[in-house]
């Protein structure tokens, strides 16, 4: 033992000096990339400010926003897990990022360590013609005919869950219930049924829900890809989810080959795929079942948590703005009577202009996915004075953009989206809830419809009141933003009876 120590002890000063040199070079590299930008002057070795990000993401991103707003350039810097990051406050600079998603500029990643979670061949990582071709083939999933099929499904599921919420609140000793998990479960069932319809068995749905929860938890944890860690559990869960969805794709293709009518999104996709195959001599669609399953998972991820956040904020703002709630109820009553036992038709939904304005204003003032991370594939000149170094993770802030340009942006005011004021057109560049550029959300009409249907049905069928506590409206990241109290409310049945459809 002494001989081993006698061998090691002379090396210790050199090891310490080597580690000190590495740490010094890391700090110099960070400061060299940061240059004159606001942000921490010194960072912890390797992990940077990852711990503060994980412990309190709201405070972390508020600080980055404050740094960025403190300078005319509208950018701030930081360092996380060995990666230099930039936060973009300016709406104009955010558009510049969105407009330059290509191999020799920026790569959309969706999550700072998204490729490990989603895989290399995910829709969000595609460029050029391959990306355009896939979006063209996805488009038939969101035609008016398809959207009408989805709205019928959405309304049935929303109705069933509203009934169960009323039953649940009667069983709670406190009388109030938090809506976040209830909304999440409702949206997960909606997404599963709209996207893959009858192809998920009850057992598969149960396992699906467990795996999706693993995925959600892993999104907010450190990217440690080792057994027992949440990030590893999330990655493996995604693999299982995609395999399940791939099986649904195969079953749908068989059904569409038999000439049956589409009943869900994957049916519309497979129907169009088969039509294209018969009209062209070459192999028109070279995606495997697993690849399509991966893209369906993208839709699920994009719609699930963002939609849950939007519905929670819609309830919160309707409660705090009773005049808005009354106008929604009056408008819905012009087109839909619950006692008629009929669903809201697509043409009726299109006429609910104020309800749509409410849905859009909720998205503006509380953009659920507050940032859209990209990675710089090259050194990119963002401004005359600053070049983004290659490898930087860039976070354009969708949230901050929504508070630029608009009249009294801090005020919840759905009328700004009405025809008389048309701020949505005047300040279109600032409304980035669905992104911009080539990767703008292809399913945004579906998302708006879902929010409108929930607002219309919830306001019409339910009486409700927030169970207010100090700080209940503060923002919490889960990973989308939600009210800190999970939107705890008192609720009861408002209509004489629930509709039956």
Encode pLDDT of 121-160 as tens digits. Answer: 677 777 888 888 888 888 889 999 999 999 999 999 999 9
With 80 as the cut, is the pLDDT of residue 71 above it? Answer: yes
**Quick check: 361 pLDDT over 60?**
yes
Query: Highest mean pLDDT: which of 19-23, 67-71, 335-339, 354-358?
Result: 354-358
Whether the per-residue pLDDT at 495 is higher than 90: the answer is no
Q: If you average pLDDT over residues 325-351, what whole number do you get?
A: 94
Backbone angles phi, psi at 374, to 5 degrees: -130, 160
- Identify the pLDDT of residue 252: 95
Helix (H, G, I), strand (E, B) or coil at 481: strand
Mean pLDDT of the chain: 88
State the angle between helix axes of 444-461 and 353-365 in degrees (0 to 180), rounded to the nearest 10.
Answer: 110
Question: What 8-state DSSP symbol labels residue 104?
Answer: T
Please report the sign of the dihedral spanned by the C-alpha atoms of residue 317, residue 319, residue 320, residue 321: positive
Between helix 444-461 and helix 322-335 the angle, nearest 10°, is 100
pLDDT value at residue 359: 98
The pTM (predicted TM-score) of the whole model is 0.89
Quote the radius of gyration of the chain (alpha carbons, Å): 25
* Through-space distance between the first and last CA atoms of the chain, rounded to whole angstroms: 80
- Is pLDDT above 90 for 463? yes
Per-residue pLDDT at 62 exceeds 60: yes
pLDDT for residue 121 = 66
Region of poorest pLDDT, from 251-260, 294-303, 320-329, 347-356: 294-303
The span from the CA of 418 to the CA of 411, in Å, is: 15
Q: Tell me if residue 385 falls in helix, strand or coil.
A: coil
From residue 102, how far is each of 106, 127, 136, 326, 388 by CA, in Å? 6, 6, 18, 47, 15
**Does residue 113 have a pLDDT over 70?**
no
Band (pLDDT 50/70/90 cuts) for residue 348 is very high
When pLDDT is averaged across residues 53-60 and rounded to a whole number, the result is 88
Q: Which of 467, 498, 500 is nearest to 484 (CA)?
A: 467
What pLDDT score was predicted for residue 276?
Answer: 82
Is 5 a residue whose pLDDT tops 60? no
Q: Is 431 exposed, middle or buried (0-12, 13-18, 19+ CB in 10 A)?
A: buried
CA atoms 458, 464, 469, 470: torsion sign: positive
pLDDT of residue 194: 95
Tell me what pLDDT residue 45 has: 76
pLDDT at 7 over 60: no
Collapsing DSSP states into helix, strand and coil, what is residue 388? strand
User: Is residue 2 over pLDDT 60?
Assistant: no
pLDDT value of residue 314? 98
Helix (H) or strand (E) holding 394: strand 393-396
Non-local CB neighbours of 103 within 8 Å, separated by 6+ positions: 127, 128, 377
Closest CA to 460 of 176, 159, 156, 151: 159
Here the tokens at position 129 are 């013609």
**Residues annotated in the binding site, as ranges?**
441
Q: What is the 3-state secondary structure (H, E, C) of 239-304?
A: HHHHHHHHHHHHHHHHHHHCCCCCCCHHHHHHHHHHHHHHHCCCCCCCCCHHHHHHHHHHHHHHHH
Residue 9 has pLDDT above 70, yes or no: no
pLDDT of 70: 92
Edge-to-edge, what's the strand order for the sheet holding 393-396?
A: 75-80, 83-88, 393-396, 374-376, 106-108
Q: What is the rounded distance in angstroms from the CA atom of residue 366 to the CA atom of residue 487?
A: 14
Which position has the higher pLDDT, 416 or 304? Answer: 416
Res 382 pLDDT > 90: yes
Provide the annotated binding site for heme. Answer: 441
Q: What is the mean pLDDT of residues 379-398?
A: 95
**Location of structure tokens 């060299």:** 32
Output DSSP code: residue 44: -
């Amino acid at each position: 033992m002494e001989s081993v120590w006698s061998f090691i002890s002379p090396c210790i000063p050199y090891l310490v000096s080597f580690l000190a040199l590495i740490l010094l070079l890391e700090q110099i590299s960070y400061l060299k990339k940061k240059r004159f930008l606001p942000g921490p002057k010194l960072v912890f070795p390797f992990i940077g400010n990852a711990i503060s990000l994980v412990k309190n993401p709201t405070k972390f991103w508020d600080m980055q926003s404050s740094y960025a707003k403190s300078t005319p350039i509208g950018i701030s810097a930081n360092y996380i897990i060995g990666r230099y990051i930039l936060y973009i406050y300016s709406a104009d600079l955010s558009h510049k990022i969105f407009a330059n998603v290509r191999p020799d500029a920026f790569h959309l990643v969706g999550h700072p360590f998204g490729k490990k979670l989603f895989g290399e061949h995910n829709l969000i990582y595609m460029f050029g013609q391959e990306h355009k071709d896939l979006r063209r083939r996805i488009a038939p999933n969101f035609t008016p005919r398809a959207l009408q099929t989805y709205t019928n499904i959405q309304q049935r599921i929303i109705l069933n869950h509203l009934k169960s919420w009323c039953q649940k609140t009667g069983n709670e000793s406190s009388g109030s219930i938090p809506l976040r998990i209830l909304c999440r479960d409702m949206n997960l069932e909606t997404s599963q049924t709209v996207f893959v319809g009858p192809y998920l068995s009850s057992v598969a749905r149960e396992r699906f829900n467990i795996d999706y929860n693993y995925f959600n938890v892993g999104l907010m944890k450190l990217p440690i890809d080792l057994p027992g860690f949440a990030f590893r559990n999330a990655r493996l869960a995604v693999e299982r989810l995609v395999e399940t969805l791939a099986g649904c794709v195969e079953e749908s293709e068989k059904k569409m080959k038999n000439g049956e009518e589409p009943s869900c999104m994957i049916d519309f996709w497979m129907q169009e795929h088969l039509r294209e195959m018969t009209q062209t001599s070459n192999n028109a669609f070279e995606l495997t079942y697993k690849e399509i399953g991966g893209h369906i998972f993208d839709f699920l991820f994009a719609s699930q948590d963002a939609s849950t956040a939007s519905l929670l904020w819609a309830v919160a703002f309707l409660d705090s703005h009773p005049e808005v709630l009354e106008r929604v109820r009056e408008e819905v009553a012009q087109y839909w009577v619950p006692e008629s036992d009929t669903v809201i038709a697509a043409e009726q939904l299109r006429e609910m202009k104020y309800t749509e304005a409410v849905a859009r204003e909720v998205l503006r003032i509380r953009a659920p996915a507050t940032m859209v991370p990209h990675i710089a594939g090259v050194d990119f000149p963002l401004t005359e004075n600053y070049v983004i170094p290659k490898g930087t993770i860039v976070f354009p802030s969708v949230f901050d953009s929504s508070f630029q340009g608009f009249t009294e942006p801090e005020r919840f005011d759905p009328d700004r989206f009405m025809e008389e004021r048309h701020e949505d057109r005047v300040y279109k560049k600032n409304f980035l809830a669905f992104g911009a550029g080539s990767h703008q959300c292809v399913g945004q009409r579906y998302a708006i419809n879902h929010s409108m249907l929930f607002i219309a049905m919830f306001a019409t069928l339910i009486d409700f009141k927030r169970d207010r506590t100090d700080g209940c409206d503060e923002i919490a990241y889960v990973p989308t933003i939600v009210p800190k109290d999970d939107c705890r409310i008192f609720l009861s049945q408002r209509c004489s009876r629930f509709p039956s459809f």
